[in-house]
Amino acid sequence: MSTTEPRVAIVTGGSRGIGRQVAERLAADGMAVVVNYAGNQAEADAAVAAITERGGRAIAVRADVADLDAVANLFDTAERTFGGVDVVAHLAGVMTAPTPIADTDFEVLDRVHRTNIRGTFAVAQQAAKRVRDGGAVIMTSTSVLGLNLPGYGVYNATKGAVEAITMILARELRGRDITVNTVAPGPTATALFLDGKDQETIDRMAQQPPLERLGQPEDIAEVVAFLAGPARWVNGQVLRANGGIV
């Protein structure tokens, strides 16, 4: 890659929520962006349009992150379109309504496991093979993991796995000058967080951090951009972006 070519970022789950903000922020930082989405093409096209209207370069690519062939094609498309991959921001993930372990439906467990663990492993595997030296891989966990709240057994189990994958991949890429880190957001005002919660619950959670507000997708995008760009001495870490809850 010549010094005049932009860095290239793949953003999984990049069509909405935190993922979209990350895609737009990395594009604003001068990267060409591959916006990955699972099913909502209209949202993905809107994310691409928002980037290109500001003079950036972006394409949308559909891929189920738990499908190994689809993930390989995602990276193939990035390389074919923009010449390579320098940054992988893995924001795709699912969660379920809090449920005690004793009452957990194993079909729900398998669904969340498939996306959050298998999907992360599939993306990590391709990133290990494809990201160019000097690049960055950013995964996504949750600050809820440190709170051990009742009802979050399924979700926390999958995000604990994400953090383990992050730490091991960082060490397996020794000598490549590729950083691997995880961002662990606290309560953030996205559809994923807000859906199914009444206003009283939302207000109570907004008062938890000393900053007394919910995080915004832009807050998390700022951290991802830091790890994707200037943070070359931050490696194998979990950054808990939560306003001071934990």
What is the set of active-site residues? 155
CA distance 4 to 6: 7
Which own/partner pairs from 81-84 qualify as long-range (CB within 8 Å, at least 24 positions apart)? 81/32, 81/34, 82/6, 82/8, 82/32, 82/34, 82/57, 83/1, 83/5, 83/8, 84/1, 84/8, 84/130, 84/132
CA distance 1 to 72: 21
Contact status, residue 151 vs residue 99, Cβ threshold 8 Å: yes
Contact status, residue 238 vs residue 182, Cβ threshold 8 Å: yes
Burial label, 102 (beta-carbon count in 10 A; 0-12, 13-18, 19+): exposed
Token pair in block for residue 30: 């001068």
CA distance 169 to 88: 13
CA distance 176 to 219: 29
H or E stretch including 227?
helix 217-228
